[in-house]
Every structure is written in C-alpha cells, then in structure tokens.
Amino acid sequence: MVLNYLDFDVSDDDAGATSWDAMASILPLRLPEALREAEAVLHWAHSVFGPPDAAKAEMAHWDFDLQLAQATSNQNTRDLMARYDAASGLVQAHAAQNAGGYCVLTLTLSGSAAFGQAFTERFDLG
C-alpha cells in the first residue's frame, strides 16, 4: 500500500527497538483520507502482530501513539481526541471544523526487529 499522507521517519536504538514517526498537516477536507491511511497501518499491525502490549514491556512486539489536533482560526489548538478501535478497524475522533485551520495527525509506531521488517516491507518504506 502506498501512503500519500503519512510519511514515516525511522529511528532505532542499540537494543534493536525501532520507532517510526509520521505527521500529516492537512486541511480538514483531506482528513478522512489521512485517517484511512492510519487505519490501514493500525489494522495491519493488529492483524499480523496482535494487540499492542498493554503492559508496555520494554521489548514488546509493537505499540503505537495516535494524536489528532486542529488549529482553530484564532491560532488555538483543539484536541480531536483520536483513538483507534481495533474491533471496527476505525479511528474515532471528534469532528474537525471545516472553518478551522489545518489538522495535524501524528502516528508513532514502535516495535521489535521482526515488526520493523514486516512493517517496512508491507508499506514499502525501504
């Protein structure tokens, strides 16, 4: 799958853990398309590696952080309270305001070497 909105940067540590950070800054009109990409990534990860490690073990197979905010017309930031529902495969969030400024979607994934290899192959991040 080609990702048009989420552009991941990768970093890793000496222990073999890797993280991928993506940020999409988009107009509210484009937000549904960017959310579909986040859903595709998270659905794949859940399907292949199971749910993230709830205990937050140091070397868990994988974990993620999802954030969504919107800059308002008066330059304040409004948290849209994004969360991924694994049962439905959808990101749920408060609605963005069309009259507001841009939306910022961030998705951070972290995982083991096996997760990293599968993730980069699946989403052609090599």
Give whole-number Cα distances, 65 to 15, 43, 110, in Å: 20, 14, 9
Report pLDDT for 72. 77
Report pLDDT for 123. 92
Q: Which amino acid is at 71?
A: A
Q: Is 124 exposed, middle or buried (0-12, 13-18, 19+ CB in 10 A)?
A: exposed
Mean pLDDT in order along the chain per 10 residues (126 residues): 90 80 94 96 94 64 94 84 95 86 94 89 86
Report pLDDT for 40. 97
Rounded to two decimals, the pTM is 0.89
